[in-house]
Homo-oligomer: A and B are copies of this chain.
Amino acid sequence: MKKAVIVLSGGLDSTTCMGIAQEEGYDLYPITFHYGQRHNREVIQAQKIAQYYNVKDHIIVNINFLNQIGGSALTDETLEVPTEGVSDEIPVTYVPARNMIFLALASAYAEVIGAEAIYIGVSAVDYSGYPDCRPEFIQSMNETINLATKAGTTGEKIAIKAPLISMTKKETIETGLRLNVPYELTTSCYNGEEEACGKCDSCLLRLKGFQEAGAKDPIAYKK
């Protein structure tokens, strides 16, 4: 059976990718990064999601590096997570080169296990304006991966699949609901508490998506 590595954060988008990759006939190999986020809720939820999909192997990678260098509100406790909504600028929750780092590590893993695809749940539609969520980044990264790896240079190329890249949050949620994606296990809030704050960029995008999809978000929010 053909294999796919899934960059699984425990969030709504990456979990939807689990459902899509399964539907597309792949054996799922999720990879989750513990990169010095303020909280480890994402990792715990990713484990529950991997269990739900009954995967053979779920690799959890500790990279303290992003915490070591700082520079983001998601990894640096001296920076505040903003709550004033999505703006046009790159926000302080941007983690330097995060998706590039994740995809570089995922492609090494793909090469070792012989996977032909890497799924990543980025979207360039309802998103926070991070440069590494855009299609031109994904395409360039894919070319780079195939120049960097033994797999890519000997013919068995690795394909990055970003099935949500042109989807609105509404469309992502509709796709996931059709595929029985366990949204009750996903976590999106930047603050990582048991109940989501409902105010950060990530919560706002998620809530808007469920509303537009005419569905109820199954996770708990603070009153």
Contacts and interface: CB of A to CB of B under 8 A. Distances in A.
A105 B109 contact: no
Contacts of A66: 108
A141 to B, nearest CB: 5
Interface residues of A, number: 44
Nearest to A158: B97
Contacts of A131: 147-150, 152-153
Nearest to A101: B104
A187 interface: no
A1 interface: no
A66 to B, nearest CB: 7
Q: Mostly helix, strand, loop or mixed at chain A's interface?
A: helix
Q: Which of A100, A105, A149 has the most CB of B within 10 A?
A: A100
B108 A69 contact: yes
A148 B69 contact: no
A68 interface: yes
B108 A150 contact: no
Given A63-B63, A65-B63, A97-B108, A137 B148 contact: yes
A64 interface: yes
Interface of A: 59, 61-66, 68-71, 90, 94, 96-101, 104-105, 107-109, 111-113, 131-132, 134, 136-137, 140-141, 143-145, 147-150, 152-154
